[in-house]
Structure 1
Amino acid sequence: MAKIINYISESFEELKSNMTWPEWPEVQRLTIVVAIFSVLFALATWGVDEFFAKALAGFFNWIKA
């Protein structure tokens, strides 16, 4: 148990002393970029899904006829 506590303690010390954290404006800007990219990616995925759903429905309707 002491090894686990020591590991966690050293990890926090590493994060505090040896990491360079971005400035708050950069964090905000990058968060907005990620949010916009996520929305665009979701819309693109939805569009491809709709296209293939309609294509498959059309194909199966064509086979039935």
Structure 2
Amino acid sequence: MLNYIQESFNELKNHVTWTSWSEAQRLTVLVAVFSIILSLAIWGVDTIFSEIIAQYFIWIKS
């Protein structure tokens, strides 16, 4: 187990190419913006379908 942890640490330290801090910040903002846009789109579709289903049940009761 100790050998695995040492090798993992060595791999991360010496063999992984990390992005620069400024690029990591830029990509984080990009992911946040697209997440907000996607969540608003899903909310909108859910609201529309909810209203359609509510109107359908009102129509069925009549």
Aligned residues with identical type, % of pairs = 53
1:35 aligns with 2:18: no
Aligned length: 62
Which residue of the partner structure matches residue 47 of structure 1? Answer: 44
Question: Root-mean-square deviation (CA), in Å?
Answer: 0.6
Alignment of 1:1-65 (within 5 A): 4-65=1-62
Q: Provide the C-alpha distance between the structure 2 equivalents of 1:35 and 1:17, rounded to a whole number of angstroms.
A: 30
For normalisation by structure 1, the TM-score amounts to 0.91
For normalisation by structure 2, the TM-score amounts to 0.95
Long gaps (5+) in structure 2: none
Q: Provide the C-alpha distance between the structure 2 equivalents of 1:14 and 1:61, rounded to a whole number of angstroms.
A: 62
